Structure formats: structure tokens, C-alpha cells
Structure 1
Amino acid sequence: MPSRKPSASLLDSSQDDPSPEDALALAEQAEAEAEEAEAVAAAARARARAIRLRNQAAARELLAGNDTEAETSSAESTVTEQAEPTETAGAEDADEAEEKEEEATARRRRLHIPRLFWKVLASCLAIIAICALLGASGFMIWKHGQADHRRQLTAEFTAAARQSVVTLMSLDFNHVQDDVKNILDNSTGDFKKDFEAQQNDFIKLAQQSKVVTESTVNAAAVDTMSDDNAVVLIAATTRVTNTAGAQQQPRSWRVAVSLTREGGQIKLAKVEFVP
């Protein structure tokens, strides 16, 4: 950097005291030198400012371009060495802001996945709950239908058992043949075959004894049952009279009646007297 030295005439101490004109010239010369020094300093400051601006622009380009870590470190080192403390603080603030933005973006991405997961999980649970409710409702409807069907079968077999016992045990010698026919029409299987083979003897015995038998069913309960077969327990009472007017004391009976559905009709298949 150029500098100007004071002239020999002004600095020469061997001369006598300067005159007023010499003093004025000396002051003007000193003022000119001061202005020149100030201009040099201003130029130096301008160059320093230009260097700082270039460094800042380079740092911004490196941050915006997302360069490699080595290049970023080198640029930050260069900026740190050349920039003043205020410029370094600005670069650090920019780096911190960028890091915060990246962290916020990563956090949003992390939060986005759990929300989607919980939505899918909630949808799956809702579907499972709906299917469970539908299954439970279907099972209840099926059970209700099964109960209704069982009640219907119980009523059918109980009524058929009551009627079969009354038909079997109620006889009148005046129309015994019709009674026997009713028994055969409402029976099936081995019982029908056995009774049919003995029907003539049964008719002759009833006509000779001139007996009238009345029967009453006191109670009935299903023991076992399926759609087409059942065993019904019957408690019955019979009273026997004859033409002479004699009456016997009521007699109680307990029988197990086996029933079979045949051609849409429930028929008597077997009769067992229970002690």
C-alpha cells in the first residue's frame, strides 16, 4: 500500500522555527496525507466487503445445492477463515434453520406412517367387530330356529303318542272291529305285524267279554327325539266296565311308546310297559 513521507524541508530539525507560511503548508500537506490514508482504508474495507459477499454467496449455493459433506465442510472452513464473526454467525443460523426444517420434515414423515397404520388397524377392527356381530346374530337366529323346530317336534310326537295310547287302550265290544282298524292304521313296523296277526283273536275276546275300556293319558314326556323318530313316556289310567254294569277300579299304566314318521304321518312302532 503506497504511503507518503514528509518532505525533508519540513522535517529538517536543523533549520530555524518555521514561518507561518511554512506551518500552513505543513498542515495542508498533513491533511492531504490523512485524506489519502482514509481513501486507502476505505478501499481496503470495500475489498474486504466484496470478499465477504462472495463468501456468503458461495455458502448459500453450497447449502441450496445440497453438495457432499466434504465440499460443505471445505466451504464452511473457507467461510469461517475469511468471514468476520458476524458473517459466521449468519451462516450458522442458516445451517441451524435448515437442520430444523429437515428434522420437521422427517418428523412429519414419521408421524404420517403411524396415522396410516392406526387408520388401517381401526378399519380392520371395525370389520372384525361387524363380522363378529353378524356371526353372533346368525348364531342366535340359528339357535332360535333350532329351538322352535325342537318345540314343534316335541309337540307333534307328544300329541301322536297320547292319541296312540288312547286308541290302543280304549275298546268297545260294540265296534271293536273299527277300533282294531284304527290301531292298525296308526301303527307300523313289527308292532303292526304282530297286532295284525292277532287281530281276530283280539276281536273275538272283546266281543265275548263284552267289555268297554276307557283310557285317559295323565302325562307325557319326550325321552329321545330326532326329526323322524322319538320315544315318549306316557302315564295313563284305564277303567273297565261290562254289560252287567260292573266297574273295576281305575288302573294306572306307564308305557314307553316308540314313534316313527312315515309318509308324513307319525305312527306307533313299539309299545313297552314300564314297571
Structure 2
Amino acid sequence: MAFRKRPASVLDGERVDDPADDTDFAIDDVLARAEEAEAEAAEAEAIASAARARARALRLRREAQAAVAVAEKSGEPEPAATVETADPIAVDDADPVEKVEPVEKVEEQPEADAAPVRRRLLRPRRVRWRALGVGFAAVVTIALVTVSVLMSIHHRQAQAEQQRAGEFAAAARQGVVTLMSLNFSTAKDDVQRIIDNAAGQFKEDFEASAEDFATVAERSKVITEANVNATAVQSMTDDSAVVLVAATSRITNETGAKQDPRTWRLIVDVVRDGDRIKMSKVEFAP
């Protein structure tokens, strides 16, 4: 290998021309350059380590600040901020390096660092909306159950009222037919049936004139037939009702002659007497 010959050097005022000195000088030059390259590499490694430490400290500080902000919004106690310190840079005593120049400030990345914070902020909102949804579903379920129960109760009450109204209307129908249907041959039995289907003051008044009524029917020699055309409950309570009755009667005498039918409109009061419903008052409507 050929080495470049260096210029003549002056040592103690004498010129050195020994060829061996040129070889030694070339080796020293290579070693010096290797040491310089190694020092530059160590310097670059130190700069990189310092940059990594600064970046890590900056990231930890931002995470601690974000955690404090989340704690303040949610009302929780602030967590103790812990900042990790960078490892000290080890410098070899044998290979000293020059003073490390300040590292430029690492550029912040708000979008990448804000993503975890954004995710943490969305979790309470999702939980809140889920709780609201569960509460709303519970309220709707309770409302539907309440409406169903009320509708069932109303339906039962309506059925009970219809049944009671039918009973009162049937009792009024039968009472009018009994009252207006007379046969002179069975006058006393017909009068007794009227008394049995009467109650209250109406019964007392009819009992007082029952004998005279039967006598008049026997002497007149007439037969009266009655039909009820329609009934309607005007008002009603649990044990009484006022029923409107439209009826038609036809009178036949002993000889068989028939009169034209007559139409009657009556207001009949009925009351519950034991296990039966009886007439308590009868009025002719105009």
C-alpha cells in the first residue's frame, strides 16, 4: 500500500528525511481520523439521546395535563402527575465530547396526542346517553303498563254497567207488561202479580186499591194485552234506575170486539229489592 508523503517537518531545527517517519505519520493520521469519527458518532448519539429524553418528557407532561383537565371536568380528584425523567446520558471518560448544543424544540402533534383525550371524553357521554335510554325505556314501559291496567279496569266497569242496565231495563219491561195486561177472568191473580212486582210507595198505594181494581176488571168483562216496544235507561245507580218505556196496549171486550191499539210512554222507577228488581214508581210521560 502506498502512503502519501507528507511535507518536511522541522523538529529542533533539523529536516527529517527518514522514510520510516513517513509511514509512522500516515498511521497516526489514520488513527486521528478514526478517533475524530468516533467522537462525532458519540456526539451524534448524545444529541439523539437528549432529543429522545426531551420528547418523552414533553409527551408525559401533555398526558398529565390532559388527565388533570379530564378530572376537573368530571369532578374527580386530580391524579398525581408523574413525569418520567430521561435517563442520564452516559459519556465515556476515555472519549470526551464537546458540549452538546441545545436541541431544537420538538414540534407538538395536537391531533395524535388529543385522540386519547377525545376517547376518554366520549366514554362518559356514551354512558350518560345509555343511562338516559334505559331510564326512558323504563318510563315508557311503566306508562304502557299503567294504561293497560286502566283500560282493563274501564272495560270491566263498562261491562258491569251494561249488565246492570240490561237488568234494570228487563225488570221495567216485565213490570209494564204485568201492569197493563189484565183478564177479567183472572183479575185477582193479575192484581196479585202486580203487587208482587212492586216496591215502596207504589206497592203500598196499589195494595190499598187492589180489591176495587179487581172488581172493576171483572165487571168490565175486558181483556187487555200489552207489548213493550222499546226501553232506555235514563239514569242509574248500583241499586236503582229510571227507565223510559214505550208500550202498546190493545183492549178486547167479552163479545170479541177489539179496539185500536194505544201507544203509551211511561217513566218507570225500579229498585233492587233483595235478589229481585221491582217497580217503585210509574208515571205517564206527556
Same fold by TM (over 0.5)? Answer: yes
Q: Which structure carries more helix by proportion?
A: 1
Secondary structure of the residue aligned to 2:14 is helix
Secondary structure of the residue aligned to 1:82 is coil
Q: Which residue of 2 aligns with 1:31?
A: 26
Code of the aligned partner of 1:207: E
Distance 1:217-1:47 versus aligned 2 partners, 3 A rule:
closer
| Contact preservation (8 Å) 2:233, 2:241 | yes
Distance 1:63-1:273 versus aligned 2 partners, 3 A rule:
same
Q: Which residue of 1 aligns with 2:36?
A: 41
Distance in 1 (CA, whole Å) between partners of 2:150 and 2:43 is: 89
| Contact preservation (8 Å) 2:229, 2:248 | yes
Distance in 2 (CA, whole Å) between partners of 1:202 and 1:46 is: 141
Distance 1:234-1:36 versus aligned 2 partners, 3 A rule:
closer
Number of equivalent positions: 248
CA RMSD of aligned residues (A): 3.7
Distance in 2 (CA, whole Å) between partners of 1:229 and 1:63 is: 91
Q: Does 1:9 align with 2:14?
A: yes
Structure 2 residues not aligned, in runs of 5+: 1-8, 66-81, 90-98
Q: CA deviation at 1:161?
A: 1.0
Q: Cα deviations across residues 5-57 of structure 1 (Å, max 9, x unaligned)?
A: 742323xxxxxxxxxx8273664465355346435524643653564476367
Secondary structure of the residue aligned to 1:92 is coil
Distance in 1 (CA, whole Å) between partners of 2:45 and 2:231 is: 117
Q: After alignment, is 54-63 or 120-129 more displaced?
A: 54-63
Distance 1:238-1:62 versus aligned 2 partners, 3 A rule:
closer
Secondary structure of the residue aligned to 2:267 is strand
Moved over 6 A (4+): none
Distance in 1 (CA, whole Å) between partners of 2:227 and 2:184 is: 18
Q: Cα deviations across residues 82-129 of structure 1 (Å, max 9, x unaligned)?
A: 3687xx6xx938x759x83x5333222222222222322222232233
Distance in 1 (CA, whole Å) between partners of 2:10 and 2:207 is: 164
Structure 1 residues not aligned, in runs of 5+: 11-20
Instruction: State TM-score, norm by structure 2.
Output: 0.71
Distance in 1 (CA, whole Å) between partners of 2:269 and 2:155 is: 27
Instruction: State TM-score, norm by structure 1.
Output: 0.73
Matches within 5 A, 1:83-94: 92=106
Q: Which residue of 2 aligns with 1:170?
A: 181
Q: Which residue of 2 aligns with 1:201?
A: 212
Distance in 2 (CA, whole Å) between partners of 1:237 and 1:58 is: 114
| Contact preservation (8 Å) 1:55, 1:83 | no
Distance in 2 (CA, whole Å) between partners of 1:50 and 1:254 is: 119
